[in-house]
Amino acid sequence: GQNIDQPTEMTATEGAIVQINCTYQTSGFNGLFWYQQHAGEAPTFLSYNVLDGLEEKGRFSSFLSRSKGYSYLLLKELQMKDSASYLCAVRFGSNDYKLSFGAGTTVTVRA
Amino acid sequence: DAGITQSPRHKVTETGTPVTLRCHQTENHRYMYWYRQDPGHGLRLIHYSYGVKDTDKGEVSDGYSVSRSKTEDFLLTLESATSSQTSVYFCAIRTEDNSPLHFGNGTRLTVT
């Protein structure tokens, strides 16, 4: 599979901001997705980036730099319910649609 | 809710037995996927389908087979289960190009 790297764990305080980084190999890049997964549940889609720049959706934003092979997911005004695993997934190639997933970053929000 | 149902939700089986997991969708989407999720590895693609009777292998397909005889059902079979196949299995569908995957609720399989 493709190397997609993200930190294993992060801890932050309620109301704070947390930034989850994701790096990937740039060859064949064709889009990046972020998913949220609560313990024991299915992953749910958060955001999609294919062009450079920032995409904002309420408290969540995702940034992409294609030349650097780098993305981040920014979670603002953290709430207890944001405690979850956040998965970075990259699509490589254009002829088929296979997503390669990072191992996920577990975010713990503390009161 | 993307109308995806996985069955069973939990299963315990013995080494060497065949096991079939079912993924059912209600919206006639063309693309369906089977992933497994293990600690430290993230989600890994087992097999996927791009139409009835059209399937292809993913990165961890050894020991698994799939079938899709109807648009709505995508079956994953472990021909002879091994302990290394203990995992959580997720089915996913995709609606169109560049759209995100939508996942079912998963099947937790334990091979003893």
Instruction: Tell me the average pLDDT across A96-101.
Output: 82
Please check whether residue B33 is in contact with residue B56, taking contact to mean a CB–CB distance below 8 angstroms: no
Residue B8: both structure tokens together: 């069973």
Please indicate if any CB of chain B lies within 8 Å of the CB of A104.
yes
**What is the pLDDT, as a whole number, of residue A71?**
98
**What is the pLDDT, as a whole number, of residue B1?**
55
List of chain A residues whose C-beta atoms are within 8 Å of the C-beta of residue B95: none
Please check whether residue A21 is in contact with residue A86, taking contact to mean a CB–CB distance below 8 angstroms: no
> Among A75, A74, A81, which Cα is nearest to A111's?
A81
User: Distance from B45 to chain A by nearest Cα, in Å?
Assistant: 8
Phi-psi label, residue B53: left if phi above 0, alpha if psi -120 to 50, beta otherwise: left
Kindly indicate the confidence band of residue A50, based on its pLDDT and cuts at 50, 70 and 90.
Answer: very high
Q: What is the pLDDT of residues B11-45, one digit of tens each?
A: 999 999 999 999 999 988 999 999 999 988 889 99
Residue A95: both structure tokens together: 């002829």
Place of tokens 């497994």: B36
**What is the pLDDT, as a whole number, of residue A99?**
87
User: Distance from A105 to chain B by nearest Cα, in Å?
Assistant: 10
Mean pLDDT over all residues of chain A?
94
> Among A26, A93, A99, which Cα is nearest to B99's?
A99
Interface residues of B toward A, Cβ cutoff 8 Å, are: 31, 35, 40-45, 48, 56, 58-59, 90, 94, 97-98, 100-106
Kindly indicate the confidence band of residue A94, based on its pLDDT and cuts at 50, 70 and 90.
Answer: confident
Instruction: Tell me the average pLDDT across A45-63.
Output: 96
